[in-house]
Amino acid sequence: MIILDTCILEKVPFDSTSADLLKTIQTSGVDVVAVPDIVMIELTSHRVVPQREKHEKAVQAVENFAKSLPWPAKAPKPTLDLDRLALHWQKRWEEVVTVIPTSPAALREGIRRESMALPPCKRVEASGDTHKIGGRDAAIWLTAGTSYPYPMDGDVDNLSNFVHLTTFTELISRFAARSEVDETVALKSLTSPESEKAVLRAARMAFGIHHRRPTLPFDVSVIRKDIVKYEDVSADDLVTVMAHGFRQAPKLRLDAVRDLTAHQIGDHVWCSVTARWLLAGLVSGERVGEPSKYWRDLILPAATTWETRVLFSPTQPGTPLTVLRRWPPQCATPAEFASMPELPSMAEAEMEWRKTQRAESVRGSQFVQDLLGEIGDTPLSELRDGGLPYTGALARKSAIERQFRNMMMHQGPPDLDEDE
């Protein structure tokens, strides 16, 4: 087990080679990369506290602005969810390390050593006052654990194979020796069906492959006209669409790789490489700046490119590929269309759009039926006057109009026969 302290991890950015190496060691199963839960609390606090301080300054700035106006004003204050922020950073760190609990006994001993200024605790001078610090350091040490001062020497007396490393370089040189791998072998591992499934799983999380899963918008390329051969696509044939997610799992193809590194961990070689993928499928999106309200919401066949940093072991074919990092997708260029997987047809896109409209219509109809069953024929005036004990009835009845308006806005123009 490799147990890391706060001072080591603070120097490791999430999107860095160092973080990738820690994930590689963790994924290999040879060693566990862990932190005491007190370290996790410290790491989280180092991200949350600066954000809280910025929030306090922002609130003060808003209040000062409101006071400076020549008339009374109530300016909305920025909000901050500290619990949500802490949970976010904790999850980011848990992508890199495992958390091990600090026992109550270790916490008590840490407080005792701080009060008595026993190593690793100490006294410090600040503003003319003497303070005792290090209780958390002692608890971290006792969770983890050469020659140490009393009482730290007794902490490691009965431990075997215990090594204290003080730099990240020492850690990597001891547990992950550099190795060499032929690029052909790496490409074979990346193009296996198992690797494709792993990348598609990551794409499902990144791109919200379900029209009701929220995701950050990303740019995709759409072909303006019917083209038989993708090799014939030119820049004038492409238009950029802001996508809100793939409707189904896209087709995927490896385009290129770069920055291949390999490390010997235990008995096996582990490789990390930046892989560029070509993705083609149906997307939900919108044409930016489209003036027509009818055609602003779209379902279209589209293509995009996606770069990921992936981890795999060519000496363990059964080990699944792991996506370490990912970057925002980029629009596919005409040159990239030459290697693009086959896009869905416009007929498939129209079929998916109609299926969505039918589903929304059914949901709207069920909403109306449920609401009418609860309210019945009660006049709106009685609901306004509070004639019923049913709370919220007025709001729900008014919601019918909004529901129908939204449905009509998304239905698009009616289908017309040729003679109409």
Q: Are residues 149 and 187 in the same domain?
A: no
Residue range 196-235, pLDDT digits in tens: 899 998 888 888 665 455 567 888 888 876 666 777 777 8
Q: With the CA atoms of 378, 379, 384 and 389 taken in that order, what torsion angle do they form, in degrees rounded to the nearest 10?
A: -10
Q: Are residues 66 and 192 in the same domain?
A: no
ω into residue 120 within 30 of 0, thus cis? yes
* pLDDT band of 32, cuts 50, 70, 90: confident
Q: Who has greater pLDDT, 412 or 166?
A: 166
For residue 399, the cross-strand partners are none
Residue range 261-317, pLDDT digits in tens: 888 888 888 888 999 999 999 988 776 555 444 444 678 888 999 999 999 888 887
Q: How many domains does the chain have?
A: 3
Residue 68 three-state SS: helix
Inter-residue contact 4 to 33 (CB < 8 Å): yes
The structure tokens listed for 417 are 């026969």
The structure tokens listed for 292 are 């027509």
For the chain, percent of residues with pLDDT exceeding 90: 16
Q: Dihedrals φ, ψ of 198, to 5°?
A: -65, -40
Q: Are residues 241 and 162 in the same domain?
A: no
Residue 31 falls inside a structural domain: yes
For residue 116, pLDDT over 90 is answered with no
Highest mean pLDDT pick, 49-53, 185-189, 249-253: 49-53
Inter-residue contact 47 to 89 (CB < 8 Å): yes
Residue 13 falls inside a structural domain: yes
* pLDDT band of 192, cuts 50, 70, 90: confident
Exposure on the CB side of residue 40, measured as CA atoms within 13 A: 24
Q: Are residues 403 and 276 in the same domain?
A: no
Residue 419 falls inside a structural domain: no
Query: For residue 81, what are the domain limits?
Result: 2-101+145-175
Q: What is the mean pLDDT of the chain?
A: 78
Q: Are residues 65 and 193 in the same domain?
A: no
Q: What is the arithmetic mean of pLDDT over 334-351?
A: 86
Residue 120 falls inside a structural domain: no
Residue 106 falls inside a structural domain: no
Q: Are residues 21 and 168 in the same domain?
A: yes
Helices (H), 70-182: 82-94, 104-116, 135-144, 152-155, 168-175
Q: Are residues 294 and 383 in the same domain?
A: no
Residue 303 falls inside a structural domain: yes
- Among the listed residues 282, 285, 202, 271, the one whose alpha carbon sits nearest the alpha carbon of residue 240: 285
Q: Are residues 277 and 158 in the same domain?
A: no
